[in-house]
Structure 1
């Protein structure tokens, strides 16, 4: 899975937080139905299971939202409108729980979007891209 990304997201927050950088976590259940729980259940899951070891994020994790499809959150409409998908291919379409599907959709959990100081999205990263490499 991709939950090891939480550790690197914490590292990014610790490294750049004093300079105004903030990681924002938006859980979503549209990809393989992998986030069915409430916000509290998600926080407990990452604390005790994945990555576990009493992990606590050093960044805000918001309520679950929809990032694609008919009910996508307006924030994600904005983000995707500024940055094209880093991958033209969809992952397992049978595991996508939303419609309609569009070329610029978020592809899977842990896709990352870098937003500059002016609030403009400047780059999208695939889910498997290691968060710590954003610093380069």
Structure 2
């Protein structure tokens, strides 16, 4: 699955990129995010992970999505302002995309094929679903939305893919 890193994405600022460019080919936590969700406070833990593990060759990648009860209605500028002002987000973010259905972004068509800890693959359940990728783009773990970013099992998955 290493070509997952070569999937084209567009940054929140509208620049074309690949997942490899956003992560620098480093291990990553890819998360579908939303600004007006009951789980939105997870942004604080995501930024804390970025701050804690960034210097060790890791990055969080946020992917806004408005498919769940319209909880990410903003423009790219509004999303960026909210994340920066409210949570001090420094990690890279993509443009708003669909994660489920016929219009699902190719990145999520691939990510949703990965089973979670209970062995269930398929559609993203809600905002703040998480995937841990190693530096080659292999998905090593998938966590459902209710699993907080700094849960022991998420930390263990991140630690398992960090360089040396």
TM-score where L is the length of structure 2: 0.65
Measure the CA separation in 2 of the matches of 1:66 and 1:36: 12
Distance 1:18 1:123, change over 3 A: same
CA contact (8 A) 1:87 1:126 kept: no
Give the gaps of 5 or more residues in structure 2.
Answer: 1-37, 157-164
Q: Secondary structure at the match of 2:61?
A: coil
CA contact (8 A) 2:116 2:141 kept: no
- 1:65 corresponds in structure 2 to 97
Q: CA RMSD in A?
A: 2.0
- 2:17 corresponds in structure 1 to none
- 1:135 corresponds in structure 2 to 155
- 2:41 corresponds in structure 1 to 4
Q: Secondary structure at the match of 1:25?
A: strand
Residue 44 of structure 1, CA deviation = 2.4
Give the gaps of 5 or more residues in structure 1.
Answer: 90-102
CA contact (8 A) 1:85 1:104 kept: no
> If each structure's strand is expressed as a fraction of its own residues, which one has the higher value?
2
Q: Secondary structure at the match of 1:131?
A: coil
- 1:23 corresponds in structure 2 to 60
Measure the CA separation in 2 of the matches of 1:2 and 1:87: 21
| Runs ≥4 residues deviating over 4 A | 85-89
Number of residue pairs matched by the alignment: 117
- After TM superposition, the structure 1 = structure 2 runs for residues 56-135 of structure 1, keeping only pairs within 5 Å, are 56-81=88-113, 83-85=114-116, 104-133=122-151, 134-135=154-155
